[in-house]
């Protein structure tokens, strides 16, 4: 039997494209919507190639309510996944209004249209950034949120609250917020992956671009933190595993297995890895040179955070499966594919 249809907003983006592949693999129909603000048609083509399905695509800005309404008029999806947001922490400090407008308006338009058209299920992309610098590791969904340290982080906290309140006030509306830890890696086909515009802000794209010779040297931001090797610790989650968490979340709502109408899950591996450990694993797994120097701390960085993913493991029936080595090999395979390196 054909499963229901899912609208994936931001489906040409990094996590959106991988999630579309996994939804198709799980038997869902998908409609991709994207405004290409930080992506291009290449990702949609990659997804079509991997799946062998000519997935419908609409170019639309979710902030444009009238244009967005046409997508709801045209397609019969019952569930949506909302990836369409801006995500650069530093940029959000420079351009707060852009972040509040993009990230909040697109979500509010989505919820309004879901209410208007009677569409039921929404998965929202939240972030471990909502925890700030936690007092205790690992963090569970009950760990208190700390005040956000950037407009980006603030939009994630506010969006969670908007969704929670809208669900509480709307008969038939269900929502799941997935708090992603640090998504890295790429599809094993190397046909889709992360493609940052300009100088990468995130660690793994900077590593792969340095290994590819595009950047001269990786700066490790700080080796004097109170951690075993002095560098920061994160929970790096493979993007294909992360994509599968969305399929599990949609399935839970579509099949009415949810306990509450609004639920939150941490999506991480449960393992903390330091920057220096990650750098060394990358070198070892891929057998490449990676010029690297210690640089001053980056302002605003959290010292350490990793997930307690027990709730996602037991309640959502999802668990991270790929090893860090597999993920770092996939990240490098993707960079080589993009740069035409043998
Ligand atoms: C990881 C570690 C850096 C670059 C942020 C957001 C989060 C998520 C991802 C959405 C840190 C260190 C990095 C470099 C380095 N959002 N680093 N040299 O800061 O954990 O998370 O981005 O997309 O919500 O908060 O991720 O990859 O930037 O950094 O040493 O050139 O790598 O200091 O310790 P972060 P990151």
Average pLDDT of each block of 10 consecutive residues along the chain (342 residues)? 88 98 98 96 98 98 98 98 95 96 98 98 98 96 95 97 98 98 98 95 97 98 98 98 98 97 98 98 98 96 97 98 98 97 90
Which sequence positions are flagged as catalytic?
152
Contact 13, 83 (CB under 8 A): yes
Closest ligand 1 atom to 182 CA? 9
CA-based nearest residue to 250, from 180, 181, 183, 174: 174
Per-residue b/e over 296-316, b at no fewer than 16 CB within 10 Å?
A: eeeeeebebbbbbbebbeeeb
| pLDDT at residue 179, as a whole number | 98
Tokens 């249809």 — which residue?
5
Pocket test for ligand 1, best of 13, 14, 87, 89 (most atoms within 8 A of CB): 89
Q: Residue 197, class by beta-carbon neighbours within 10 Å (0-12 exposed, 13-18 middle, 19+ buried)?
A: exposed
Angle (CA) 42 43 45, round 5° = 65
Ligand 1 contact, 281 CB (< 6 A) = no
- Among protein residues, the one with the nearest Cα to ligand 1's atom 11 is 232
| pLDDT at residue 153, as a whole number | 96
| pLDDT at residue 55, as a whole number | 98
Euclidean distance between CA atoms 210 and 204, whole angstroms: 10
3-state secondary structure of 167: helix
What's the pTM value of the predicted model, to 2 decimals?
A: 0.98
Ligand 1 contact, 121 CB (< 6 A) = no
Contact 5, 29 (CB under 8 A): yes
Euclidean distance between CA atoms 334 and 42, whole angstroms: 13
| pLDDT at residue 1, as a whole number | 55
Closest ligand 1 atom to 221 CA? 30
- Structural domain spans, the chain: 5-185+237-268
Supply the DSSP symbol for 160: H
Ligand 1 contact, 232 CB (< 6 A) = yes
Euclidean distance between CA atoms 188 and 109, whole angstroms: 34
Sign of CA dihedral 285, 290, 296, 301: negative
Ligand 1 contact, 202 CB (< 6 A) = yes
Ligand 1 contact, 221 CB (< 6 A) = yes
CA-based nearest residue to 267, from 240, 239, 307, 304: 307
Statement: 5-185+237-268 belongs to CATH 3.40.50.720: yes
Distance of CA 255 to the CA centre of its chain: 24
- Among protein residues, the one with the nearest Cα to ligand 1's atom 17 is 203
Euclidean distance between CA atoms 95 and 112, whole angstroms: 26
Pocket test for ligand 1, best of 39, 217, 273, 275 (most atoms within 8 A of CB): 275
Around Cβ 212, how many Cβ atoms within 10 Å? 16
């Amino acid at each position: 039997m054909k499963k229901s249809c899912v609208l994936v907003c931001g489906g040409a983006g990094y996590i959106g494209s991988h999630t579309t592949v996994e939804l198709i693999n799980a038997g869902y129909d998908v409609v991709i919507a994207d405004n290409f603000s930080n992506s291009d048609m290449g990702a949609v083509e990659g997804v079509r190639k991997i799946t062998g399905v000519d997935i419908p695509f609409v170019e639309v800005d979710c902030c444009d309510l009238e244009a967005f309404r046409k997508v709801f008029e045209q397609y019969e999806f019952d569930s949506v996944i909302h990836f369409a947001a801006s995500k650069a922490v530093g940029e959000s400090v420079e351009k707060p209004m852009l972040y509040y407008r993009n990230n909040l308006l697109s979500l509010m338009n989505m919820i309004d249209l879901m209410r208007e058209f009677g569409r039921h299920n929404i998965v929202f992309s939240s972030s471990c950034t909502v925890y700030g610098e936690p007092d205790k590791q690992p963090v569970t969904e009950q760990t208190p949120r700390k005040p956000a340290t950037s407009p980006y982080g603030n939009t994630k906290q506010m969006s969670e609250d908007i969704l929670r309140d809208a669900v509480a006030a709307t008969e038939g509306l269900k929502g799941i917020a997935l708090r992603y830890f640090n998504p890295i890696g790429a599809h094993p086909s190397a046909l889709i992956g992360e493609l940052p515009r300009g100088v990468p802000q995130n660690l793994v794209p900077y590593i792969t671009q340095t290994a590819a010779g595009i950047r001269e040297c990786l700066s490790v931001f700080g080796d004097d933190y109170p951690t075993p090797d002095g560098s920061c610790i994160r929970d790096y989650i493979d993007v294909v595993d992360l994509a599968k968490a969305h399929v599990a979340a949609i399935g839970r709502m579509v099949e009415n297995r949810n306990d509450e109408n609004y639920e939150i899950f941490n999506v991480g591996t449960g393992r903390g890895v330091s920057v220096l450990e990650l750098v060394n694993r990358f070198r070892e797994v891929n057998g490449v040179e990676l010029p690297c120097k210690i640089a001053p701390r980056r302002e605003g960085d959290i010292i350490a955070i990793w997930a307690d993913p027990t709730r996602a493991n037991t309640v959502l029936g999802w668990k991270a499966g790929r090893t860090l080595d597999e993920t770092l090999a996939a990240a490098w395979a993707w960079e080589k594919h993009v740069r035409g390196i043998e």
